[in-house]
Structure 1
């Protein structure tokens, strides 16, 4: 391997290590209590080394968001060919639920943890986040055009759906359903998916 190639690989490995450490510390300590020095100490680097790769911790947090949304968009892409828009809407909801239930740590960082996202303002477009929302917007728009759901504002309907599904995932990953559902985990998951179906059916025209 050429020296240049080895240096590039080492650089990518360090960057990956920093992101992995930051992800773990954000989850364990919270965003506000995690500093660049904490991350540096965790992986036995100097803070100056971290700053060679990232200008601030918000940039690291943004990249973690990007990775999470990239995973979510990959799963959404698998259902893009469903012709019936209401069926696609149902699958979008189920896919979102499955993503949150399978990736609770990523979901916490993406949608629950309180942290500034000033890094987003540095970009003309937040492509990963916009792409995820557009799957929902476009599907709701088709449902409205074909009159398979009640007529209303596309944005408001989309936000209502997202808020409902987000609420289900958040309550599940933070184990709040245990307070009202004294049942095995599989039964609780079944209840979560049935709640989604009940809500979506209420939108049908």
Structure 2
């Protein structure tokens, strides 16, 4: 490995350390209470080192959002590609969304649960665009279902919000440890069963003429 390759690898590794430390601190003590110095202390480098990679903590938050939403979009695309029938694509989309949330609790928390002053960030428009792309994917699949005769009489956007709210609620119940009232071995299964029952309910909304 040449000197240039080694330096590039070291830069990637350092950036990864910064992002991992920042994510943990943002979730533990909140975005506003986390400083660049706090992040530097965790990775045991000077604050000046972090400024070589990010101009401020807003840019760090943006990088974390881009990374998290990119992974979520991959999971959602996997759901779309796994089925040919429009309704089954919608079902798979929800399953992959839940799977992503369960397997990536910190990233999901950062994306949808953590309180952060997004309206004050210079990069807020880009962050909202990431979320909008994910929602537009859901609307696209719901639209395909409507073309196939499902959900007649419903508004696409409203129906999509309902579906998103359901899967987000199930994910958040688990990630915020609100399922502790159930036996540990059945918590995930219970949420998956709840989603399956929701699917059975909305599956009934199909035009007989379709």
TM-score if structure 2 supplies the norm length? 0.85
Is contact 1:86–1:143 with CA below 8 Å preserved after alignment? yes
Query: Quick one: distance in 2 between partners of 1:144 and 1:29?
Result: 44
RMSD (CA atoms) = 2.1
1:187 aligns to what? 186
Is contact 2:80–2:93 with CA below 8 Å preserved after alignment? no
Q: 1:123 to 1:191 in 2, by over 3 A?
A: closer
2:147 aligns to what? 145
Runs ≥4 residues deviating over 4 A: none
State the 1:149 CA deviation.
Answer: 2.2
Query: Quick one: distance in 2 between partners of 1:113 and 1:173?
Result: 12
Greater Cα offset, 3-12 or 161-170: 3-12
Q: 1:89 to 1:119 in 2, by over 3 A?
A: farther
For this pair of structures, how many residues does the alignment match? 201
Q: 1:7 to 1:84 in 2, by over 3 A?
A: same
User: What residue ranges of structure 2 are gaps of 5+ in the alignment?
Assistant: 206-210
Is contact 1:136–1:158 with CA below 8 Å preserved after alignment? yes
Query: Quick one: distance in 2 between partners of 1:173 and 1:45?
Result: 31
1:73 aligns to what? 73
Greater Cα offset, 9-18 or 154-163: 9-18
2:110 aligns to what? 109
TM-score if structure 1 supplies the norm length? 0.87
Query: Quick one: distance in 2 between partners of 1:45 and 1:178?
Result: 38
Is contact 2:80–2:92 with CA below 8 Å preserved after alignment? no
Q: 1:67 to 1:164 in 2, by over 3 A?
A: same
1:99 has 2:103 as partner: no
User: What residue ranges of structure 1 are gaps of 5+ in the alignment?
Assistant: none
Q: 1:39 to 1:196 in 2, by over 3 A?
A: same
State the 1:199 CA deviation.
Answer: 2.2
1:60 aligns to what? 60
Query: Quick one: distance in 2 between partners of 1:125 and 1:188?
Result: 32
1:196 aligns to what? 195
Query: Quick one: distance in 2 between partners of 1:111 and 1:44?
Result: 29
Listed one character per residue, the Cα deviations across residues 22-60 of structure 1 (whole Å, up to 9, x for unaligned) are 122223222222111101122222222212211221211
Is contact 1:22–1:39 with CA below 8 Å preserved after alignment? yes
Q: 1:162 to 1:17 in 2, by over 3 A?
A: same
State the 1:86 CA deviation.
Answer: 1.0
Query: Quick one: distance in 2 between partners of 1:176 and 1:36?
Result: 32
State the 1:115 CA deviation.
Answer: 0.8
